[in-house]
Structures are given as C-alpha cells and as structure tokens.
C-alpha cells in the first residue's frame, strides 16, 4: 500500500541491509580492481585503508598528527564562520522583519549576495582578506547570512498581526513583543535554516582550503589525492560526513529541547 506503515524491526533490518550491501559492494569492487592491478590505490582494500588511517593518526616527521592539526584548523574556521554568520543573519532578519524601512534598505544587498556563488567569489575574498582565518570566517558568514536573514524575516512576516496586537493588549512593550512573541515563534524556523546552511558552509570552506590552505581537511584531501593516496581521502570524506551529520543531529536536538511546541508542517 502507498505510504503504508512498516514495523520498527523491519525498518531497522532494511537500514542495516543497505549499509551491509554498501560495504559488501565496496569490498567486491576493490577486490576486482586489485586482481587487475595489485598495487592499485584508487579503490584501496580494507588493509590499505587501515594503513591510511594509521598515516593520519600517527605523528609524522614533524611530530604532528594530521588528523589533529587538520581538525583544529578546519574546526576553528568553520565554527567562527558559522557563529558570526548565525549571529549577523539572525539580527539582520529580525531587524528586517520588524522595521519596514530596514527591510527596504537591506533587501537589495541581501538579494544580490544570495545570488553570488561563494566559490566563484573566492578570488575576491583572497584579495580582500588574504588567506588567513579572517578570510574563511568572512567567506562562510557572508555565504550563509542571506539565507538565514531571509528565513527569519519571512517567518516574521508570516506571523499573523493578531498575535502582535494581542500582545499589546496584554500590556507588552515593543521590546517585549520582539523578544517574547516574535523571537519565540521564529526560533524553530531559524534552527531549521541553520541546519540547511551547514551543507553550503562546509562546501565553501573545503573549496577555499583546497585552493589556498596549508592545513585543514580541504588541503589534506587535495594533497593526498594528488599522490593518489585514496586510503586517506576516503576516511577524510567519511569524517566530514559524520561531522555534518552530528551537527545536524545536535541542532535537531536543540530544537526539540527549546521549541517542544513546534511541529513541522511536513509532519
């Protein structure tokens, strides 16, 4: 039946089956490849992958563990960028939603910024901010601000004016309407928007690191790919995927905690 429910046991079984098939398929493809060329590194065997993991978890000649220095560098760039972007996007969105004059004033630059592909604008960031931390932070934050600000201000426009008028009849000040009525209703939608912004932010960051980085995930992936050390590249990709997944899960958890009243429309 279309959209018919299935039992939980069945859904867990099917999920593990798909993971098993993936792993099995990889093993088979890798095995085939090594029969043709035993020294192949494009589709490493499980043993080669273990070597790769050892390579980036053990100290290298400079006594640095790649995984540690890459995580620190990429993580700092990412969280500073996301943090600044989230704050600016939220404040801009609130201002645009609450004040029509600011909406009119800010809409053109935001619409323009939203349409410029950040990866294409990399050159501009290099010229303006150099290749240090500030460049990454500026690029990520400017990349996500438009989407976040627009989400917030559309969410505010969506609020029925009855809810705001009623708050005034209950004795609220303008500030209280903004913080206690508008903010509370916008928050869950904003968290959703941040979840969606994580994907693009990682893309911008890795792309920039590939071009100008001297440390970080993007840098490492590009370098090891040039040496066809795919046994390092694949684990790095998997780690990036898990990182994105964990962040997404964390934000969903936060949303459930902070906005237990909220029910997504798609439910």
Partner 1 sequence: MTLSDENNFGLQCQGVSHWFGETKVLFDLNLNVHAGQFLSLIGPSGCGKSTLLRAILGTHPPHRGKILTLQNGRLANADRPGRDRGIVYQKYSLYPFLTALDNVALGLKFDQTTTAFRWLNWVGWGKKRREFRDRAAAFLDKVGLGQAMHLYPSQMSGGMQQRVAIAQALIMEPEIILLDEPFGALDEATREELQEMLLQFYEENKVAMAEGKKPPYTLIIVTHELNEAIRVGDRLVGLSQYWDWKADGHDRSPGATVVYDKPAPVFRPDERPDYELFADIRQDIRQVVYNPKVLQRRDEHVNLSPTS
- Judged by the rule CB under 8 A, the positions of this chain that interact with partner 1 are 160-163, 165-173, 175-176, 179-181, 184-185, 259, 261-263
**Of residues 64 and 158, the one with the C-beta less far from partner 1:** 158
Q: Which residue has the tokens 């917030």?
A: 152
**Of residues 139 and 152, the one with the C-beta less far from partner 1:** 152
CB of residue 161 vs partner 1: minimum separation in angstroms?
8
CB of residue 155 vs partner 1: minimum separation in angstroms?
13
CB of residue 263 vs partner 1: minimum separation in angstroms?
6
Which residues, including other chains, have CB under 8 Å from residue 155's CB and lie 6 or more apart? 93, 97, 185, 186, 189, 190
CB of residue 158 vs partner 1: minimum separation in angstroms?
12
**Of residues 42 and 179, the one with the C-beta less far from partner 1:** 179
Residue 131 contacts residue 184 (beta carbons within 8 Å): no
DSSP state of 117: -
**Of residues 129 and 262, the one with the C-beta less far from partner 1:** 262
Alpha carbon distance, N-terminus to C-terminus of the chain: 19
**Of residues 107 and 185, the one with the C-beta less far from partner 1:** 185
Identify the sign of the CA torsion 64, 66, 67, 68.
Answer: positive
**Of residues 81 and 188, the one with the C-beta less far from partner 1:** 188
Distance, in Å, from the CA atom of 91 to the CA atom of 93, rounded to the nearest integer, reads 5
Which residues, including other chains, have CB under 8 Å from residue 227's CB and lie 6 or more apart? none
Consecutive H or E run containing 31: helix 8-36
CB of residue 91 vs partner 1: minimum separation in angstroms?
18
CB of residue 181 vs partner 1: minimum separation in angstroms?
7
Distance, in Å, from the CA atom of 104 to the CA atom of 92, rounded to the nearest integer, reads 12
């Amino acid at each position: 039946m279309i959209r018919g429910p299935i039992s939980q046991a069945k859904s867990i079984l099917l999920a593990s089956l798909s993971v098993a098939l993936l792993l099995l398929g990889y093993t088979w493809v890798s095995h085939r490849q090594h029969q043709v060329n035993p020294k192949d590194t494009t589709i490493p065997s499980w043993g080669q992958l273990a070597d790769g993991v050892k390579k980036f978890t053990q100290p290298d000649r400079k006594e640095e563990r790649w995984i540690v220095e890459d995580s620190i560098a990429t993580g700092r760039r990412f969280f500073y960028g996301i943090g600044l972007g989230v704050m600016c996007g939220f404040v801009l969105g609130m201002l645009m939603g609450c004040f029509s004059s600011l909406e009119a004033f800010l809409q053109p630059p935001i619409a323009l910024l939203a349409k410029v592909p950040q990866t294409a604008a990399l050159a501009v960031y290099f010229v303006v901010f150099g290749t240090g931390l500030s460049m990454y932070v500026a690029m990520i934050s400017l990349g996500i601000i438009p989407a976040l600000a627009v989400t917030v201000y559309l969410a505010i426009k969506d609020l029925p004016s009855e809810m705001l008028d009623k708050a005034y009849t209950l004795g609220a000040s303008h500030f209280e309407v903004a913080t206690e009525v508008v903010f509370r209703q916008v928050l869950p939608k904003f968290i959703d928007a941040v979840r969606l912004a994580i994907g693009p932010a990682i893309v911008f960051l890795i792309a920039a690191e590939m071009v100008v980085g001297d440390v970080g995930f993007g840098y490492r992936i590009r370098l090891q790919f040039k040496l066809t050390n795919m046994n390092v590249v694949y684990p790095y990709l998997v780690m990036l995927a898990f990182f994105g997944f964990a962040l997404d899960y964390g934000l969903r958890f936060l949303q459930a905690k902070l906005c237990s009243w909220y029910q997504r429309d798609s439910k």
